[in-house]
Structure 1
Amino acid sequence: MASNTLDGIWSVKIVYLPSSVTVQELANTFNVPFSRVRIPKVQQYNTYYAFINDFNSEQVARNFADQWSGSSVLGNIIKCSAVPRKDNDSLPYTPRFIVRTQPELSEEPIISEEKTYYEECKQYYQLTKMPLVSVSDEILTDNLALESVSFKFVIDENYNEFNIENFLSKMCNILNISRNDIDIRKIQKGSVILELEFMKKFGSGMKKIKMKAIYHAITDKLREEMGKQNQNSGHTYWTGALQDGRDRGDSPYYCPVGRKRYSFHVCDNFHEKVKGWCICYHGTKFSFGLSILLSGLKPATAISHGKGIYASPSIIYVSHPRYSKVREINLSEQSSFFKRGKYVQFALEYRVHPKYRKVVGCETLGAGKTIIDPNINNNIIEWVIDNNNKDIVDFNDPDASIICSGLMIRVTDNHPMFLPESHWWGQRASGQKCNIIYD
């Protein structure tokens, strides 16, 4: 019998959704393009469900499903599962929302006076955790006509990772205004400077009345809520190699699913310094990781591929207990640091220029033909980095062949051997499950 499953294409089915949910809300929740989300017009089961399409492998789809299953969407606890995509999963669908694309950045430079003022605003926010709100005198003066009203938001966030419509939706809810009353005038870098025109369709008198109402409504409590909108508490996820325009050398950068990343301040011009440098990982104990950060990195003593520093482009590979020790969390630490987690693993994120990569070799853990990482072949999963004949590589050395750029942490509610991505570790008891803890 012929199958209508598309080879190599997988979806994640989400059930127990509220019937009022929209494509845009799901896209925002799961941080995926709305084009990948499909809500069937005809719901065939007792539960409301949707699909997120275009996962390039079953493993990637399962990882996504494991990551989000048990999460809340508009108050409903959802369940996710990986399923082969059917032909009708990609049928055209008319979404129940207005599609607004991310506007282009303005080429207009920011004048020095503005930069100075924005730095002062940033310092104010760091001290108070509330945004500094300034209002022109024209808003409060009755004898001046108000021909136009503009809002300017300065958001300390990378433009490429900033969801403008999501931000505006939250601001409109906080300020009790309609999104349809706002037009985006321009967006500038620095990090994101968003200029909006407000209430174009209203006359001068009504504009002034509405703006006065908003001004008097901006209490300290409201400013605290506004400040929270600049704190990223969601998950970043993508499938396949990340295509964000940054030069990370000749090795694709795949999403380190299930890990929290804590970035390190390396230098002020970090992205310029590491332009063309690849991302790789080094599994370790937490105590060893601290020692590496404080004292530097020693070359490996087990040298299957020769002398040097060993790393891998695969976060899955370095999470094997041989490299990244699985540590059971004490009860006191569960409540203080890791909340509901019971096990934790650590890995270091490195940046290395391809010219310092001496060897690209095969795995050395005896996995054989078992696929370790669906994105990276077993034959190119271990790297040896040139230590330039140094006993210890100091990350602070401007000529260092390798830079430590972040700490990767994975917290789980059971031993990570029961995670789907750990299937290659070896024998494990059947019937047990493991979930990644994000809070």
Structure 2
Amino acid sequence: MVQLNDTTASSDILEEMLKQGDMEFFPQLRKRIDRFVDVFNHHITQQKLNEYKRNLLDQLRPLQQATTVFTSMQALRRFFSYINGLGINSLITTLHESGFESLMSDDTLNFLDNDDLTIDQRVTEFFNRQDRRSTIFEPLKEKLVGIQAANKYTLGLANYAGEAGDFVLSPVAFINSLFFPNTNVGENMRRRSRLLCRGEPNWFTKVADYLTYYVMETGTSDSELQEFLDYHGLEDDFVHFQFCINKWLEQIREMLPPDQTFMLGKKVILTELERVRKFLYAVILNKPELLQEHTEAVTQTVHDAATQANPSNGASLLPCIAYGQLPLPTDGKRILCFDFVLDSSVSHRTAENILSDISRNFQAVRSREVRINGDIKTVRLEVEISENIPHLIAKIISKLANLNVRSVLIGNFGLNGFRHAMNPAFNRIYSRDGRETAVGFMATSFVQSLDRGGEPYYCPNGWRRYAIDVGMTGAQFEKQYGSWPVAYHGTAGTLAMTILLNGLRASGQGCFLRSNHGGVYLSPSIEYSGHPRYAKIIQIKSKYVQMVLQVRVYPKLIEKHPGTLTGARLRDKQKADPNFSNDVLEWVVHWKPGQYIDALNGILVYGLMFRVTDEHPKNLPQNQWWKVH
């Protein structure tokens, strides 16, 4: 372990933080994953999942058998209520879509840390806790409710609007910013013809809103729905509703696994965890020997995946999903490589057939081939993709298992073209007079606040910024993000490393959240974000180190609230930060609980802010507000 001082290289600070992660984060995560896989593979879990599927199909039958628009909407309302009541996340999605670190941040899984529980007790506890959650069955929720940056929601299929009177409406689709009253329609509107109403601006959207409000049980009664349908003559369009609902049902059935048992390969998943650990070292520290170690870890992951034994109970193995570096999107699309690692027993001819089968799941395949390296056979596809990648994998993962795919490598894993996560050219050390120095940092100071997106940005005195490579020049960055305010997010240094890869993860618990929503908490004040409740204090030799993330946030997503920490509340007499009023210290960006939000959605993480001090931060003059009781 290195001694930190003013001559310590900036990369050494990051390396020490990573080592802290090795000691604190990864061992506990490894234990959770080990036990999580045991819970998933348990026969009771498999029985429960099959039971959920059967019940779900039972709930779909009334929707398919409906003979009127009215009964269709009633059945859809009951179905949606049932989905909301399931209260269990997909185990596959939890592990492969949200990322390994989600297993650590999900408090409902902390029972996995209890060494005294047997496997049967862990399975029971898992379902007991999941049943108490208000979350919706995944990945169906992604089909039913998708949250976009503009706070729009879309459910099911897209809307179709053809010639006047030719109307096809998705089962439920709405934009929540619009409002269509539940009160009776005025007499003047009643006199309008059905065709004339459909020529009104936003008619289709308003109808979709109203029907969705009914389905979501927001106060619309059956009698009000019937009156609405009669007034707009929507029963005449039942054939269009039926067509759209049947298409929607097909999509839901496609997302359900077939009637068979699926299991996770523990050894491969734990090998992949080690690969991720080395990946963090390689991409952040950019040392040649670390890049080589990561390459060797990839080789081990592929080997373990291809050679793992089939379960003795005849179950199919779900492929292990591994993410490398993903190319930056252009116009919402990426050119991406998928490597599907096959069971080593698969013949070359079978591999060619698998190549064709997998290709059918992608719309824009640019190239495809079967690669053979000894016993390792890999199907490689280069595709143009705009779809959310984890959602795509979730839809086809059971198909891949039945095609003897043992692992899926997504993105770049090789040394060529490997992007360093950091950009030392923009490293800064901030102080009031610009005289503080440190190796690898440019001394920076400014007295007056700067304007960033209409919000003040004050010099973060006493902090060092280790800049993240955002893939653009300074001029390009200013053009793209110059109108986005600067904010901060305090975090434990060990978790910050995974945030670099995924973005910030929305919490489902906290103040100021809307019903059934999550949020990311930010602050315009680095001093507020530097409170130990948010920014864990780590002691490295004789120094105290804290880490805070520096971000840019799309201004329309910001919702301002007072501070919630003692010493920073509205009723506290003194300001926690002299630059800001206590009533604007917390910024909330509402987002889907448990999901990540990155630059594409409105939050760009572009700097790791370190505070390195000789004395405990609680004794610093600017932190005396911590001691308020």
Q: What TM-score, normalized to structure 2? A: 0.28
Larger Rg computed on CA atoms: 2
Give the structure with the higher percent strand. Answer: 1
Q: What TM-score, normalized to structure 1? A: 0.39
Give the structure with the higher percent helix. Answer: 2
